[in-house]
Copies of this chain bind each other. A is one copy, B any other.
């Protein structure tokens, strides 16, 4: 008997940002699979098995989840944010395409979630209010040259740029180089947002500029938004907000 697998987006962290569709999918599962800290966000439920794994073993985790589903379980793979944005969904489909042929018979679905970039943007205003690019700075799975080429293209065409996975202990220098490349095309006063642990109790949000952005402030849990030429910081009372104009003009590269 073949079971089911659903890849569930838990949103950025806060329980009130988990959709009812995600909550229902979690409640219906016999088995939960995921990175430990994400699994810890899901309330315990009697009779439900939990399989925690390391964050770096995405393909192995996907295979484990598919084995459980192929054996008849109803499996929920949990992902932070949205599962389709630098998270578990792609790994599950890759495993289905390249792995055990029995996995192809598993019924698979994806429950979207509020991604970290949308939650971070909401906290400061509307910085993603115009055309934007989303780039992971991790070079674990792609050559750094690809990252740089994409940064150059995005910066030259005046996209707002969202950077996922900006830094980790193993990748300490990438963010500085990335910001330097963007700065070749964009003014020093361009707003830059460092958003960490968005919507969680230890959330921190810093609004700075491209000239003053300190790459050392980023870690694995930080997401960075670099504004376009149409992104504005507006001071008012105690707190500033950041938004990008809905209209754009030609900016010479």
Q: Which residues of A contact B (CB under 8 A)?
A: 9, 11, 14-21, 24, 58, 82-86, 89-94, 96-97, 104-105, 108-115, 118-119, 121-123, 125-136, 141-143, 145-146, 149-150, 152-154, 156-159, 232, 234, 236-237, 241, 243-250
Contacts and interface: CB of A to CB of B under 8 A. Distances in A.
Nearest to A153: B157
B114 A133 contact: no
Contacts of A82: 114, 118, 122
A241 B241 CA distance: 40
- The 3 A-B residue pairs with the shortest CB-CB distance, nearest first, are A90-B129, A153-B157, A89-B126
A122 B145 CA distance: 29
A70 B85 CA distance: 38
A110 B93 contact: no
Contacts of A149: 157
A42 to B, nearest CB: 15
B133 A132 contact: yes
Contacts of A9: 118, 122
A121 B109 CA distance: 11
A83 B127 CA distance: 11
Contact of A248 (B15, B94, B143): B143
A86 B246 CA distance: 8
10 contacts: A58-B246, A93-B125, A93-B234, A104-B237, A112-B118, A112-B122, A130-B136, A150-B159, A153-B154, A154-B154
Contacts of A136: 130-131
Contact of A131 (B118, B126, B134): B134
Contacts of A18: 19-20
Given A17-B19, A126-B90, A113 B104 contact: no
